[in-house]
Chain A
Amino acid sequence: MAFLELKNVCKGYGARGDRTEVLHNINLDIEQGEFVAIVGYSGAGKSTLISMIAGLILPDSGTIRLEGNLITEPGPDRGVVFQNYSLLPWKTVFGNIYLAVDQVCPTWSPSQKSDHVHRYIDMVNLTAARDKKPSELSGGMRQRVALARALAIDPQILLMDEPLGALDALTRATMQDEIVRIWEQARKKTVVLITNDVDEGILMADRIIPLSHGPKATLGPSIAVNIPRPRNRKAVNHDPDYQRIRNQVIGYLLGSGKKVRPPAAPPALRELEPVGAAL
């Protein structure tokens, strides 16, 4: 049995009679230590999928097992990083991470907990900002705190739901490299990354799986990313594997998208002259 196993998982929303099935027959096996990226459109059901693995919502049918145990509720074996960071605004960087450690390791002494928190603050390069509050931090820094908090509880699996979606392109690229570095430092924990960015998936993950357009979204072919690490976002462009994987994933996603082919303009409309054009 795989480390994380989803079997025929379906989930829908809405009242009886007016129900939309969002996810249909999701089957997924993830091995321990694997970094898997799931790429799909917004609204396709990516967050629903990760919320079910997190145990925040339950599937309508099918099963989700982590190390053979059925997932029925959230637990400290799964660390979650959300797009909106979800930090407590009145607590410092240290305080936010300490709160999680305090919950998960209640038997530790305060100094033990504090040492542990500092180790993770160092890992995400926030030592200089450890007494700052979220409002004093940039988006990238806030996401570092959320990542340190998720890793500090030493989960079996790390779930990331569009963690970089709110960042600008440059910060996003830096954070992609950072997360991979931290992941390698954290002894390659099992990771599920949800993203809408095909390049992000290919640059970061061991395996990339497209999620088709909803409703009734389902997982497409699983594609191994056998590009050697560290991966450079400029140099990968001349790697034939990168080109093949990227075109395959984009091709699948575009093929599953809704095709709206516009009708040609009636000639009468094209001949109309706008009166203001001479201004």
Chain B
Amino acid sequence: MNRYLDLINVGKSFPKKGGGEAIVVQDFNLTLEQGEFVCLIGHSGCGKSTVLSMVAGLSTISRGEIMLAGRKLTGPGPDRGVVFQAPCLLPWMTALKNVKLGVDQVFAKSSQAERTRIASHCLTLVGLGDSLHKKPPELSAGMKQRVGLARAFALSPQMLLLDEPFGMLDSLTRFELQQVLIDLWNEDRKTALMVTHDVDEALFLSDRIVMMTNGPAAKVGRVLQVPFARPRDRQEVLADPDYYRLREYLIEFLEEQAEPKAEKLEVAIG
């Protein structure tokens, strides 16, 4: 196994209005092996999306450094496919054109027909083969996010970055899309880092779950190795004797983080 992504003492802070600085993330250390699927869980506002957007190169790194495939990360690039919480589709373009927009940039040397074929194939993979020519306003929230997934996978990125991609969907539609995502991922098992606060989602999808402490100055709290064999079937995973024990462990961590305000203060001072 090669290490693919390395976050070394990564920190993010913003200057405060009255002077000084607000520390969002501090001393964040994490290594992802090539082909590993890691979920980052924590409460809203704890800084997990900040970590992801630094890896995406969309947010500057205040302290420490990020190494990607052996090179120091300096900005965004097509080697990382990003899926955001909002699908961020262009409303005047069809599903096919939305996906093809990125494909045209990344596969610039391929023929027009080939690029269309890539885009339509990826949309078929996510179950939208019948909706290639629909525009976002005609699609349900779940379908829009399927387009978001197709767009990321169509670029054949080396790594996937997923920022609560199913956070705006109801819990049952989320189950469906988790299956779509894991089926796509299973094809070539690209390294993936996903942010979520849904413990079931993290247990179903990932090889490892990294639990983040609550901000300010959030860092890695605990790490859980997920033991379920791949490829995974939802009902088999749910029936695994370890499933609910691990679920309770994760919920316990999140509840501990949600409660004590006093502890947060200590962190801020220390």
Whether both chains belong to one complex is answered with yes
Contact partner of B172 among A40, A169, A263, CB < 8 A? A40
The answer to whether the Cβ of A230 comes within 8 Å of any Cβ in the partner chain is: no
Let me know if B108 is at the binding interface, CB within 8 A.
yes
- By beta carbon, the residue of chain A nearest B75 is A279
The answer on a CB contact under 8 Å between B44 and A247 is no
In the complex, what's the smallest C-beta–C-beta distance from B49 to chain A, in angstroms?
A: 14
How many contacts between A and B, using CB within 8 angstroms? 118
Q: A42-B173, A165-B170, A247-B235 are in contact. Are A262 and B183 (CB under 8 A)?
A: yes
Task: Report whether over half of chain B's contact residues are helix, strand or loop; otherwise say mixed.
Answer: helix
Residues of A within 8 A of B109 (CB): 275
Residue contact A238 to B176, C-beta cutoff 8 Å: no
Residue B1 interfacial (CB < 8 Å): no
Q: Given A237-B247, A238-B248, A275-B108 in contact, is the A254-B118 Cβ separation under 8 Å?
A: no
B107 to A43, Cβ gap below 8 A?
no
Q: Does B54 contact A (CB under 8 A)?
A: no
Bound: A41/B184 CA distance, A = 23
Q: Is B239 located at the chain interface by the 8 A CB criterion?
A: yes
A14 CB-CB contact with B under 8 Å:
no
Given A234-B248, A270-B188, A274-B155: A247 and B106 within 8 A (CB)?
no
Residues of A within 8 A of B105 (CB): 276
* Nearest B-chain residue to A247, judged by Cβ: B238
A:255-276 near B, CB below 8 Å: 257, 260-266, 269-270, 272-276
Pair A274/B172 contact, Cβ less than 8 Å:
no
From B141, B171, B180, B255, residue with most partner A Cβ within 10 Å: B171
Inter-chain contact B78/A42, CB cutoff 8 Å: no
Listed by A's residue number, 15 A-B pairs whose Cβ atoms lie within 8 Å are A39-B172, A40-B172, A42-B173, A169-B198, A170-B43, A237-B251, A246-B238, A253-B175, A254-B235, A262-B124, A265-B125, A272-B110, A274-B156, A276-B155, A279-B77
- Residues of A at under 8 Å CB distance from B? 39-43, 165, 168-170, 196-199, 233-235, 237-238, 242-243, 246-247, 250-251, 253-254, 257, 260-266, 269-270, 272-277, 279
